[in-house]
Chain A
């Protein structure tokens, strides 16, 4: 979104509150009708997508100046994009993009991000990961049974959270690729943070540095595909990187790849997983992973006050997120009784960890996770699964905090159980994700 579009859009919020609800046509119960964790938690209109558009307008008009109160409201948002999906069913506003740009503006003015988020950014700059972990420990997850092929055309970009906090995901992922005889390599000591925590909290300049740093490295490798088990890294590479710098490799999330493995009989699902399972769509894999479509058209004035985009400008509504691959996998695993929550796919409810919220406002993140866990419990499921290490950590924290009987597994762990490979993973509980 350029400056002109931003300045036009912030004047056009209808204050209709559509952004607080899942798309109206999808509402199935009073209990699970809402989409925005922020307004659900804090209640004042300022905490909604529309409220933040008004803040952006008030800032531009000089009615407001950056302040602690303002930062607090702007950053108490998981940037899940639910507001944008709801709004864009009929409208053309971009609430999520406005929030992202608002954060960028605050950072460029010398305000923001929140102190804890800034620490993560500093750690990325000095340690290449947001967790203040030593870079040389990045490969601690790598066990002897994992086969890496240095000549492979496929690169597995592990990501910081899986490397340091959710090793069960990376181990399961690597073992599944091995089981499918799918050669892959890793960047080892040359893998750095994808930059997502920097971008989401508004430090655009540092993010661009990170994009260049990563692409410089990856483009030296002789690869044609990069695979991600982290929805955050995947979204960042697939959607955000091309806005800064083009690249010529394909991006794949492991759920897409694993589904192909099953369809192509590269994996044998020998074991039954006799569980009732529900699936949580990560925002980064679902609605937000829809790439921007190039648009070379122009706005033509058809009559006074009415302009038409010719050709029609594609709206990013979450239509083309990754929804079916993970569901297909679950439906193909023998024994699994797959059951949906009410809020799914492009109108899925956020786990609560995104947009820097888990680091800066852990209580908000936890409360949101508990809400989502309750929704999963209401399905009668025994297991909640997802495909993102952030969702893993936060939803698992929600399970513990709520005392829920649910168990969380990453979808790769369930698949690993089904193919019968030894699952040596250790379930770690950590509240620290960026």
Chain B
């Protein structure tokens, strides 16, 4: 399907010549995404990495242009799907009666308020870009596990957004302040302090009155199912150590001068019970820059930059319940205190730090940790990677979820359809001083073989069902009408409320519902 010429012209009048394309090559490229084959399989379609092909792709440069595009979509009943940096199947249109709004040209850091600790950004500012600019003020930002190349705006408004630095930088859902939001009907909504009549600014994200943040994104975001976000303020945090950041040498064998007050601990807690206790104590003390439980296999991966170098680290992989902690400080005194606390906890729980004794990572590891690049190591084994679970709950529930998943995963490993990580492939991190935790189960598969794709899809479905059966909360990929209708009745019928929101905000169902929820009558 292509746009009628007159309609194309109307879009072109908004964005300018060269900023809209309906050619078959451009539109086919936008139909591709990572893991799309899994979602196609789950929907009973051919397991290929292509979604329906959009009619066109538009590149707006301002909120006004986005608003005009959305209004035009409503006028002609064309579905829109907005994307920022575009990683993942949730960027894909669910219908060929659609256009993609690629927000790439909206790439400004609008404001850095170092005093009040927030930055206002447009959709195509990447995590790295924001970080390097705020580092000039001694500040840091949160970046999701997807890596520093993705959009913090997208993560804050539309996704879950846990990251390796979550203990010190929270997670995207909790970092979003005021927002500029083009609603599905084209109206511009200003959330929080940005909507004030006098002196509007971005410092606050709620009220006065009932907070609309929950409607805007809720737990997992709407994935462009409820309009387009054009500006967002995100919280900033003190940079954990010296902002001297100089990576020398040549890729991929970079060298990095580890900041003076930074230390890595990798400890085997031996079992999940002890892991829970230690992790809670570390987080309670608010000393960690990073604190993650990773399976042995995953610890091997974060220290490796190729599958071959991963296999050198089998000794690390044999740890039963590894905890990876980084402490960082800006002064000797702060560093001394944090080390002292860690020493105390190690002694108390009779665990040992293997770093510097059994294993010493390349200094580049520290550079990657500071730049939130570690999540990308999940791709090094096969290139095919996706997570199940996605629990946000107590440490205990997260570990229960981990344990219950192991036999299920082992079954699929035995079939040879997913990679053997001993069934334990897990990443768990804490939020807000250990008040709650994030847990997901990364799994590697081969996206080029139908057997592995279908096996991975079936494993994901079974894992979701297990979460229901064992009351382990809503996983990451409860997305789209089918999944919401499956989980909603078990969870306060949230899907009914979600649907009401959709119906009220998007009466024409123009904002793509594929990874959100369809209105009742559609």
**B258 vs chain A, min Cβ distance (A):** 13
Which residue of chain A is the closest to B23 with respect to CB atoms? A69
Are B148 and A24 in contact, CB atoms less than 8 angstroms apart? yes
Residue of A nearest to B107 (CB): A30
Q: Any chain A CB within 8 A of the CB of B379?
A: yes
Query: Total A-B residue pairs with C-beta atoms closer than 8 Å?
Result: 192
Q: Nearest-CB distance from A374 to chain B (Å)?
A: 17
Cβ contacts A80-109/B at 8 Å (1 or 0 each): 000001001111110000000000000000
A20 CA / B126 CA spacing, docked (Å): 11
| B184 CB → nearest A CB, Å | 24
Give residues of chain B (3-39) contacting chain A, Cβ–Cβ below 8 Å.
19, 21, 23-26, 28-30, 32-34
Shortest Cβ distance from A311 into chain B, in angstroms?
A: 8
Asked if A30 meets B87 with Cβ closer than 8 Å, knowing A44-B29, A90-B377, the reply is no
Binary CB contact string for chain B from 104 to 141 against chain A (1 if under 8 A, 0 otherwise):
11000100000000000000011011101100000000
Q: Which residues in B have their C-beta under 8 angstroms from that of A57?
A: 32, 49
Q: Are A55 and B147 in contact (CB under 8 A)?
A: no
Segment at the interface with A among B172-180, B264-272, B391-399, B415-423: B415-423
Is the CB of A23 closer than 8 A to any CB of chain B?
yes
B213 within 8 Å of A (CB atoms): no
Residue of chain B at shortest CB distance from A48: B29
Report if B59 contacts A (CB, 8 A).
yes
Q: Is the CB of A88 within 8 A of B25?
A: no
How long is the Cα–Cα vector from A309 to B2 in the complex, in angstroms? 45
Q: A250 contacts the other chain (Cβ, under 8 Å)?
A: no
Q: A305-B419, A305-B452 are in contact. Are A14 and B252 (CB under 8 A)?
A: no
Q: Mark A21-43, 1 if CB is under 8 A from B, else 0.
A: 10111111110010000000001
Tell which of B68-76, B321-329, B366-374 binds the partner.
B366-374
Contact (A33, B128) CB under 8 Å given A55-B29, A64-B24, A305-B419: yes
Binds B, one of A158-166, A172-180, A226-234, A314-322: A314-322
B318 within 8 A of A: no
Q: Report yes or no: B23 in contact with A23, Cβ–Cβ below 8 A.
A: no
Please tell me if A426 contacts chain B, counting CB pairs below 8 Å.
no
In the bound complex, do residue A24 and residue B379 qualify as a contact, i.e. CB atoms below 8 Å apart?
A: no
A305-B382 contact given A44-B21, A54-B32, A346-B251, CB 8 Å threshold: yes
Q: Contacts A14-B34, A67-B25, A92-B306: A27 and B129 contacting too (C-beta < 8 A)? A: yes
B25 with A73: CB separation less than 8 A: yes
- Name the A residues within 8 Å of B104 (CB-CB): 43
| Residues in A neighbouring B381, C-beta threshold 8 A | 306
Contact between chains at A90 and B252 (CB < 8 Å):
yes
Which of the residues B247, B250, B420, B448 comes within 8 Å of A12, measured between beta carbons?
A: B448
CB distance from B390 to the nearest CB of A (A): 19
Chain B interface size, as a band, is: 35 or more
Q: How far is the CA of A24 from the CA of B364 in the complex (A)?
A: 12
Q: Map CB proximity to B onto A320-339 as digits: 1 under 8 Å, 0 otherwise.
A: 11010000000000000000
Decide: A319 and B419 in contact? CB cutoff 8 A.
no
Write the chain B residue with the least CB distance to A46: B29
Which residues of chain B are within 8 angstroms of A312 by Cβ–Cβ distance? 306, 308-309
Q: Name the B residues within 8 Å of A12 (CB-CB).
A: 383-384, 447-448
A side interface size, CB within 8 A: 63
Question: How long is the Cα–Cα vector from A305 to B109 in the complex, in angstroms?
Answer: 42
B344 vs chain A, min Cβ distance (A): 33
Cα A51 to Cα B311 in complex, Å, equals 31
Q: Is the CB of A274 closer than 8 A to any CB of chain B?
A: no
With A14-B87, A24-B128, A33-B126 already in contact, the answer to whether A347 and B251 are too (CB < 8 A) is yes
Q: Is B492 an interface residue (CB 8 A)?
A: no
Residue from B24, B85, B149, B305 within 8 A of A67 (CB atoms): B24
Would you call B382 and A306 a contact (CB within 8 A)? yes
Q: B186 contacts the other chain (Cβ, under 8 Å)?
A: no
Contact of B308 among A27, A29, A67, A308 (CB under 8 A): A308
Q: Is the CB of B102 within 8 A of A45?
A: yes
B253 sits at the interface (CB 8 A): yes
- B337 contact set on A, CB distance < 8 A: none
A93 partner residues in chain B, CB cutoff 8 A: 383
**Set of chain B residues within 8 Å of A90, measured between Cβ atoms:** 252, 305-306, 376-377, 379-380
- Closest A residue, CB atoms, query B136: A29
> Are B87's CB and A24's CB within 8 A?
no
* Min C-beta distance of B131 to chain A, whole Å: 8
Task: Give complex CA distance A305, B251 in Å.
Answer: 27
Interchain CA distance A44-B57 in the complex, whole Å? 8
B475 within 8 A of A: no
- Report the nearest B residue to A345, measured CB to CB: B250
Query: Nearest residue in A to B254 (C-beta to C-beta)?
Result: A25
Residues of chain B contacted by A54 (CB below 8 angstroms):
28-29, 32
A137 to chain B, nearest CB (A): 40
Q: Is the CB of B452 within 8 A of A44?
A: no
- Which A residues are CB-close (under 8 A) to B126? 21, 33
Which residue of B has the minimal Cβ distance to A11? B448
Pairwise interchain contact A45-B86, C-beta atoms closer than 8 A: yes
Q: Known contacts A24-B371, A306-B307, A306-B419; is A55 also within 8 Å of B382 by CB?
A: no
Cβ of A265 within 8 Å of any chain B Cβ, yes or no, is no
Determine if B459 is an interface residue (Cβ-Cβ < 8 Å): no
Q: How far is the CB of B383 from chain A (nearest CB, A)?
A: 4
Q: Is the CB of A63 within 8 A of B28?
A: yes
27 CB contacts below 8 A, A to B, read A12-B448, A15-B34, A15-B86, A17-B86, A18-B149, A23-B251, A23-B254, A24-B371, A24-B373, A25-B256, A25-B368, A27-B129, A30-B133, A33-B128, A43-B102, A44-B29, A46-B26, A51-B29, A55-B25, A58-B32, A63-B50, A90-B305, A91-B380, A91-B383, A306-B419, A317-B252, A346-B250
New A-B pairs, 6, CB < 8 Å, besides A24-B149, A55-B29, A317-B250: A12-B384, A15-B32, A24-B371, A25-B368, A26-B251, A43-B104
- Counting from the closest, the 4 A-B pairs by CB-CB distance are A304-B416, A312-B308, A46-B29, A30-B129
Q: Name B's A-contacting residues (CB within 8 A).
A: 19, 21, 23-26, 28-30, 32-34, 48-50, 57, 59, 85-88, 102, 104-105, 109, 125-126, 128-130, 132-133, 146-150, 247, 250-254, 256, 305-309, 311, 364, 367-368, 371, 373, 376-377, 379-384, 413, 416-420, 444-448, 452
